[in-house]
Amino acid sequence: MLYTFTYMFSASELYKVEKPSRYIGGEYNSIVKNWENIPYKVALLYPDLYEVGMSYHGLQLFYYKINGETDLLAERVFTPAPDAINMLKEKNIPLRSLENKKPLSSFDVIAVHFLTELVATNVLETLSLGEIKLFSNERTPDDPYIIAGGPAISNPAFFEPFLDAIFIGEADDIIVDLVRFLSEARQKHANREETLQRLTTLFDGIYVPSLKNSVKEHHVLREDIYYPERFLVPNVEAVQERAVVELMRGCTRGCHFCHASSYYRPVRETPPDKVVELVKSIKKSTGFSEVGLLSLSTFDYSKLNDVVDRLQGEHLNMSLPSLRLDSLDLSLLKKVDPTAHLTLTIAPEAGSDELRKKLNKGFTNEQILRAVDVLSENGWTKFKFYFMVGLPFETEEDVRSIAKLLNEADSVAFRNNRRSRIHGTIASFVPKPFTPFQWERQITPDEAEQKYTIIRKSLKRQIDVSFRDPWFSLLEGVLSRSDEKVSQVVLEAWKRGAIFDTSENDQKRAIWEDAWQSLNLDPLDYLKGRSTNEPLPWDHIQVGPEKAFLETQREKSEKGLLTEDCRYGCLGCGVCEGDLWPTMA
């Protein structure tokens, strides 16, 4: 009755690692194909812990899309936790996939998901554990092709030497043919340079670091977006364990600091019938009791009322991420999610109306306080606020106004409900490439600390505020606007032990500081403002709007002029062409 199977670890080894079920696979809805019978094989590498990666919708999307093809096989690989890494190294065990438990090096293609720049050292560690040659130029025709994609690698300079190719944009309609092409090349032992050269001519959105080719982001039409109808049920409870249905891709609001707004243009709403069908089918195939309706600005989805009404009575907890106050609908919120009585998350970003306008966020403090008033009167007890300091055009008064707004919100909420709690999260602004703020100066960690102190001193004692370590904002900023020299720092930091840099601590900071010093580079040099005339390290890549449009937006920001929602009139940003236009439900 008992049956045996093979793990990456033996039972006695598994027993010694934390959460061993991270490493065994076999989840409900996982697909284990016959390794010998499938010609083309890709490993989907998510460079973080199992429970983090299993929350990522994109991983499930590619997993089912690729495994839906009879000649392809996709298997998952995550970065093991530090204790398991030590075990692998100690016992000399190569990292294996979760499905067929095959070493990473036995796949034709390894597709790396970059959702944040701070996973760079995790990628190196994972490839190294999989016995993959780290540098692209060291790989032979027998080695797997390492490709990467995701918003955080849209300026790939900090990671170029380690990748064979980078996919810029959305790969729903390309991934299958891309994997076939590269797998075939590997199996035929084709010349790698020629293969990669051909790749750039055959597919849109391909950037090959060794060729330094110019590339334009690839977008998919709404009808080509792939919607998985089932989900893997994680062994270890995922960070966000729920069925995710893409309500819409893209956002029309165009906040000037927002990279996703550039990367995922234009808006493509999923038809409501499709959303309802997907929610029901994922619930049926997983048993999940929570559904996340994924979008960058949920209340902008034109048929939200319709979708919510049709999902009532399904024993489902719905969560709506990314709510904007200027489109908040209280009656809908009450209907959608009874748990909203617990928490409402608002991202004012700036404390003053003037500065918020310069970010292209049109709502005011008055609207925020009115929302807190109405919601706290209606039973909401927790209000989370997200702010940034060091924004372009920010004054000291703007910084003080963050504390002032939090204090006022606390007074309003407490007046209506004595159990109300206000929580603020404050981080240092990171200018991202391909946004209107890509030329802006990023403040130093010392300056950020000074601003944090101003806020701390003006806050009421009972308000709970967490401040992001500004040093890690610096690291994120340096990587996202990096040039090629930074890739050497990444390598050096990894060699010195940097890993899991998304969790902040002083030890990691010291490792990175040593790495910069050893290469005689100063991270502060990468924080400086850049002139709009000056060439940027990512100029050969075009993501989202054209550069001229970004410049115009930056000028409007300086003048405090808002840009309209592009659903109500084309702004000429240069993204839409042919059949690609904002598509409403």
Residues at the site binding another protein, with contacts judged by CB under 8 A = 1-5, 11-12, 14-15, 19-21, 24-28, 233, 235-237, 283-290, 315, 317, 338-339, 341-342
C-beta closer to another protein: residue 3 or 568? 3
Closest to 129 measured CA to CA, from 410, 499, 502: 499
CB 330 to another protein: min, Å: 17
Count of positions (residues) in the chain = 585
C-beta closer to another protein: residue 111 or 333? 333
- Strand order, beta sheet including 243-246: 243-246, 290-294, 317-319
CB 277 to another protein: min, Å: 17
Query: How does 407-439 read in b/e, with b if 16+ C-beta sit within 10 Å?
Result: bbbbebbbebeeebbbbbbbbbbbbbbbbbbbb
Query: Using H for helix, E for strand and C for coil, what is the string for 371-425?
Result: HHHHHHHCCCCEEEEEEEECCCCCCHHHHHHHHHHHHHHHHHHHHHCCCCEEEEE
End-to-end CA distance of the chain: 51
User: Which residues, including other chains, have CB under 8 Å from residue 414's CB and lie 6 or more apart?
Assistant: 420
C-beta closer to another protein: residue 180 or 242? 242
DSSP code of 116?
Answer: S
Beta bridge partners of 111: 44, 147
Encoded tokens for 232? 């893997």
C-beta closer to another protein: residue 2 or 92? 2
C-beta closer to another protein: residue 24 or 347? 24
CB 314 to another protein: min, Å: 10
C-beta closer to another protein: residue 108 or 337? 337
The DSSP annotation for 242-286 comes to SEEEESEE--SS--TT-HHHHHT-S-EEPPHHHHHHHHHHHHHHH
Question: Residue 266: is the preceding peptide bond cis (ω within 30°)?
Answer: yes
Determine contact, residues 270/223, Cβ cutoff 8 Å. Answer: no
Specify the amino acid at residue 92: N
CB 13 to another protein: min, Å: 11
CB 36 to another protein: min, Å: 21
CB 103 to another protein: min, Å: 20
CB 448 to another protein: min, Å: 37
Handedness of CA 18, 24, 29, 30 (dihedral sign): positive
User: Tokens 């199977």 correspond to what residue?
Assistant: 5
CB 273 to another protein: min, Å: 22
C-beta closer to another protein: residue 286 or 553? 286
Query: Using H for helix, E for strand and C for coil, what is the string for 223-248?
Result: HHCCCCCCCCECCCCCCCCCEEEECE
Distance CA 119, CA 241 (A): 21
Distance CA 98, CA 209 (A): 30
User: Tokens 């060729």 correspond to what residue?
Assistant: 211
CB 20 to another protein: min, Å: 5
User: Tokens 């990171």 correspond to what residue?
Assistant: 430
C-beta closer to another protein: residue 68 or 287? 287
Neighbours of 379 (CB within 10 A): 14
C-beta closer to another protein: residue 137 or 339? 339
CB 130 to another protein: min, Å: 22
CB 102 to another protein: min, Å: 17
Neighbours of 280 (CB within 10 A): 17
Cα-based distances in Å from 444 to 149, 188, 237, 390, 470: 29, 51, 37, 9, 8
CB 54 to another protein: min, Å: 12
